[in-house]
Amino acid sequence: MEENNNEGIRLQKYLSEQGIMSRRAAEKAMTDGLIRVNGKKVLPGAKIYPDSDVIEYKGTVIEGASTEKAYLMLNKPAGYVTTMSDDLGRKCVADLVDEVKLRVWPVGRLDYDSEGLLIMTNDGELTNLLTHPRHEIPKIYQLTLKGSITEEQLNLMKRPMLIDGYCIRPVEARIISDRGTSTIVEVMLREGRNRQIRKMCDVCGFDVKRLRRVAVGKVELGDLPQGKWRELTKAEKAYLMSGGAEDYLGGDKKFDVLARKASEKRTYRVKSDGKRRSRYSGNKKYD
């Protein structure tokens, strides 16, 4: 149920919507006495009036963000850090969206040497939704590996493995092309631990020449030029806001469909009996 702003809004909900911190983090900060409203400490459940109340976190006033929301897709080049500023003076993704009138931030990360699709927004709810562990919208990557890779070698990547003391879940992977001097592999994973794919390749002995994210579920990078951004379509935004509720079929078919080119897209709808059925959508745009 939506809260009536005339009756105030719960502070943890407000902080989450502004992308400042998650609701859980806000509740802990309030319990720890780190947040004050109009100079007074508050407890979880407290309501505020954003237009008039002064909110402080660790003594710093929190400026209210715009109620207008922005949802962007950026094609991040290599050589940029996925932050809005960097103490080391490195180039940041913020430099690539500086003409956007609203302040936006990246959802998740792509490491310095990686490229591809990066969602950026000023919607805290969407940020929390896409980064929460319980949501498993698959992410698709294309890797250019040095040399020729056999199916037997690729099977090593598909198995569970221990990385940084954590047993990662199996991934799906397939060879797209083998040029002898290099092999292009497509990988789908549903968890995104720090530098996970590169660490998996290290374990398997693969030399990564290029790593590019090409899709987040149904939202595909397409032909967006490097360093450029575009607004998400209404359908793309709705899909992400649903947490991937209209996801693809399970098993091997899921990976094949996700890897299909945009001109061969196939959509799936859930029927009343709970089963999913396909409907060919041709070359129609999402929006």
d(CA 223, CA 63): 37
Q: Return the closest-CA partner of residue 20 out of 32, 35, 6, 5.
A: 35
Among the options 86, 111, 178, 256, which is catalytic? 111
Give residue 122's Cα distance to chain centre: 13
Is the Cβ–Cβ distance between 26 and 36 less than 8 Å? no
Beta bridge partners of 156: none
Measured CA distances, 108 to 15, 102, 201, 216, 241 (Å): 18, 19, 21, 11, 15
Residues 6+ away with beta carbon under 8 Å from 141: 116, 186, 187, 188, 189, 197, 211, 212, 213, 214
Q: Judge whether 111 counts as a catalytic residue.
A: yes
Whole-number Å distance between alpha carbons of 81 and 63: 25
Task: Write out the catalytic residue numbers.
Answer: 111
